Structures are given as structure tokens and as C-alpha cells.
Amino acid sequence: MNICIPKERRDSEYRVGLTPAAIRLLTDDGHTCYVEHEAGLGSGFSDYDYQQAGGQIVYSGEEIYGRADLLVKVARPTQVEFDWMREDQTVAGFLHLAAGQSSKIEALLEKKITALGLEIIQDDDGCLPVMTPVSQAGGRMVPQVAATLSQNNFGGKGILLSGTPGVPPAEVVILGGGTAGSAAARNFLGLGAAVYILDRDLERLRELDQRFQGRVVTMVSHPFNLERVCRFADVLVGAVLIPGARTPVLINREMVKSMRPRSVIIDLSIDQGGCIETSRPTTHSNPTYIEEEIIHYCVPNMTGVLGRTATHALNNASWPYVQMIAEIGLEKALEVSPSLKRGLYTHQGEILQSTLRDSLEGRQ
């Protein structure tokens, strides 16, 4: 099988689809691996590292896409990458198609491309084995971003998250008590902030209360409580995820208006459309904007600048599925792995993911 690793083309995306160690395992098993020139540079891997592992270096994006039976990448392809794809390929990555353009989904169907969303590979118990470590990294990154944006020189209110003797800590509100939300809470607590977590799952709130030994305030997520917390939040974090579906908007513009000026919103859900009405995608080159006097940070590929850490975390989780496809072929892998099958957005010209189908119908 020809397995290809392209260079990521989105702004400030330093992660790479596979490490040299993975390439070594694949080439030892007889597969041919092509790696685009400098694809791994942001993660600390040189072309020489890939060549030593048995990979072959390719010097154009068009060629890397043209050679691939299985294309392993990270971020959703750009328009030019969609144009480079050929019929009947398999493309694996964090595709987030529910928040993507309809024209790109139509291109996948037209070319009969198998689109494997690493973010929606799902075990029987509901766990997202590949998305989880990336969500953990993103959640743990949130407090350092919030701390920086809260400084005066970045437009913030000039507050220290931990406070200081005689001065109370910042009040941080996290919407969603899942992987990213709980990871963010962990690090916010470590910095000394006062943390509130809202979730609609009462059992989940009980688990979080026990895990953090009562050090976080847990609240049921409903409109009254959402309005209430917006009025005092110094930092508001959106960490809501519905696998494969567009994120519902929980915070409307009026709620944002009720926040104190120069407070900070970090919408981790932006890669699936965002859970705050005033959110719109930004980039690491220009990560923030002001709306209703509130600082908004909405970078979809937030962990893209954690090239080394995020790439290793991603590869640890995605490797079993890549290896399975390489060893026994896609069709057989889909038969033996229900988790992998749940990760299919499109296959043989059809949409297999129900939430994506519903999303497309809702746009018509």
C-alpha cells in the first residue's frame, strides 16, 4: 500500500500525520511511504529522519496526493488539497466536516473518496480514542492562553488568574465537562483560579465533583445558569462536543453583552462551528478579535502550535487504526473494527455519518 504524509497547509499547523517511528514500522512491513518535503519540520522531524526510517521524500503537494492509497494528515484539507485528491483514495485526519463547506463534501462524494474522521472514531462505550489525547492537550493549553490574554498588554483586564493575598482569583467558567473541559479545569485549578463547570449531564457533574474533591463549582447547563455565569466570568471557555455534529450555540449575543468588558472568551468548540454566537474562526497569526467589548480567541487548530507534543499524542492514538488499514486493507478493517467504521464520513460515494447527513439537509 502507498501511504503518504503531506505537509500541512493551514496557518500555523506544525503537526504531522505520522512520525518517523511509524514510517519505520510500515516500511518494515513492506509498505511504501512517501513524505512531503519538510512535512515533519514543525514537529522536530527532518527529511533525513524520515529517509532513515525508510520513507521517500516527495517535493510537491500534487505528487504526494497523486501517489496515495492512504493519505494520513492532521487538519481538514484546503480547497487546493481537495482538488489534488484522486478517485477512490482514503483520507484520514481531523476533518470536522459538519462545520465544513458543502462543496467540499460534494467533492468527496463525487470522487468516491473514503473520508475517515479521526475525531469521530468511537468505541462502544462512547469514548473517542483518537480525539481524546488531542482534546486533553487543547484543554491543558487553554489556561496559558487565558492567562496571557488577561494581561493589559494583550488587551485584557489586567488580572492574575490566581489572584494574590488580599485579591481574589479570576473566575473561570467552562461550558462542558468532557475531556477538554475537565483538562482545562485541572490546569486552571493548578494556577489558583476559581473554576465553574457547567454540563447538562448530572452524573458527569457528580464525577467531576468527586475527581476535583469539591474544588470546582458544578452547575447544570440550562439558560438561567448560562445567563448567570456570563455576568461574572473573567474567562469563559466553550468546550462542548457532539461527535460528528455541529456544536449547538449555548451562549447568545445578549449573554456576551452582559459580560464585563475585556473579559476573555476561548471557544474550543470552534472546529465544529462554535458554541457561542459571537464566535468566528481565527488563526494563530491573528488569534483574537473584539466583539461586544469581549476578547474572543477562536483558533480551530489550537494544538497545531504544539507540534512535538500534539504529534506524539496523535500518533500514539491513531497508530492502531493506521496499522490495521495497512495490514488487512480498508474493507476488512471496517468489518473487524466497529470503532473504525464509526469514523467514516463518506465511503464509495455515500455519506455514512448520520449527523453529517442531517447537517447537510439542514443547510438546504
Residue with cell 458544578: 218
Q: Which of 26, 72, 97 is nearest to 311 (CA)?
A: 72
How far does CA 42 lie from the centroid of its chain?
18
Q: Please check whether residue 95 is in contact with residue 119, taking contact to mean a CB–CB distance below 8 angstroms.
A: yes
Q: Which of 245, 247, 253, 293 is nearest to 267 (CA)?
A: 247
Q: Which three cell numbers stand for residue 333?
A: 478493517
pLDDT > 70? residue 30: yes
pLDDT > 80? residue 329: yes
List, for residues 285-327, the tens digit of each pLDDT value.
Answer: 999 999 999 999 999 999 999 999 999 999 999 999 999 999 9
Strand order in 294-297's β-sheet? Answer: 217-220, 194-199, 171-175, 235-238, 264-267, 294-297, 288-291
Band of residue 363 on the pLDDT scale cut at 50, 70, 90: low
Q: Which of 215, 53, 296 is nearest to 5 (CA)?
A: 53
List, for residues 185-236, the tens digit of each pLDDT value.
Answer: 999 999 999 999 999 999 999 999 999 999 999 999 999 999 999 999 999 9
Mean pLDDT over residues 12-33, rounded?
97
List, for residues 104-124, the tens digit of each pLDDT value.
Answer: 888 899 999 999 999 999 999
CA–CA separation, 220 and 203 (whole Å): 10
List, for residues 35-76, the tens digit of each pLDDT value.
Answer: 999 999 999 999 999 999 999 999 999 999 999 999 999 999
Mean pLDDT over residues 254-272, rounded?
97
pLDDT (0 to 100) of residue 244:
84
In the residue annotation, 123 being an active-site residue is answered as: no
Domains and CATH numbers, the chain: 2-121+306-363 (3.40.50.720), 131-305 (3.40.50.720)
Distances (CA, A) of 284 to 96, 262, 269, 288, 326: 19, 20, 16, 9, 34
Catalytic residue among 31, 96, 296, 347: 96
C-alpha gyration radius of the chain: 21
Band of residue 245 on the pLDDT scale cut at 50, 70, 90: confident
pLDDT (0 to 100) of residue 102:
84
In degrees, to the nearest 5, what angle opens at C-alpha 108 toward C-alphas 102 and 112?
A: 145
- Locate the DSSP E strands across the chain: 2-5, 32-36, 56-58, 70-72, 90-93, 114-117, 171-175, 194-199, 217-220, 235-238, 264-267, 288-291, 294-297, 344-347, 350-351
Catalytic residue among 271, 296, 312, 347: 271
In the residue annotation, 96 being an active-site residue is answered as: yes
pLDDT (0 to 100) of residue 353:
83
pLDDT (0 to 100) of residue 359:
67
pLDDT (0 to 100) of residue 202:
96
